Amino acid sequence: MQIDITFKGIASSDAVKTHIQEKFDRLDKMLDYPAEAHIVLSEEKLRHMADIHLTCDSIVVHAREEADNNLYSAIDKLSDKVRLQIRKIKDKQRRHLAGDRQSIKSSAPDSGVQTAQL
């Protein structure tokens, strides 16, 4: 995954860059094709914000997360949010390719026999 990082109002540091690289390399394993991510890190008053725009073949994810504590917690929240969005998109694609069929185990058989409750 190619990651572009932009710092707005924050001094750039190698520690933040390596933290981002570690977090988003884990997400790269979920994707089937090479991806590009543009991450913008900013600070307004006491809030630290992380914003991402990720593109990979047919998957496009845009997310924003903010934290009061520090920049690292905003990055962690952002990676969790992106991971959930990627999983949701891939599940939708998988269901679409399967014809939106439900699993045999999850669907209850309709036997046509009704039981009376007293």
pTM: 0.75
- Tens of pLDDT, residue by residue over 47-83, are 999 999 999 888 899 999 999 878 999 999 999 999 9
How far apart CA 117 and CA 102 sit, in angstroms, is 29
Distance between CA atoms of residues 101 and 88, nearest Å: 17
Q: How far apart are CA 21 and CA 70, in angstroms?
A: 17
Of 94, 97, 90, the residue nearest 29 (C-alpha): 90
For the chain, percent helix, then strand, then coil, each to nearest 5? 35, 30, 35
Q: Which CATH class is domain 2-97?
A: alpha beta
> Domain residues of the chain, as ranges?
2-97
For the segment 8-37, what is each residue's pLDDT rounded down to a tens digit? 988 889 999 999 999 988 888 888 888 999
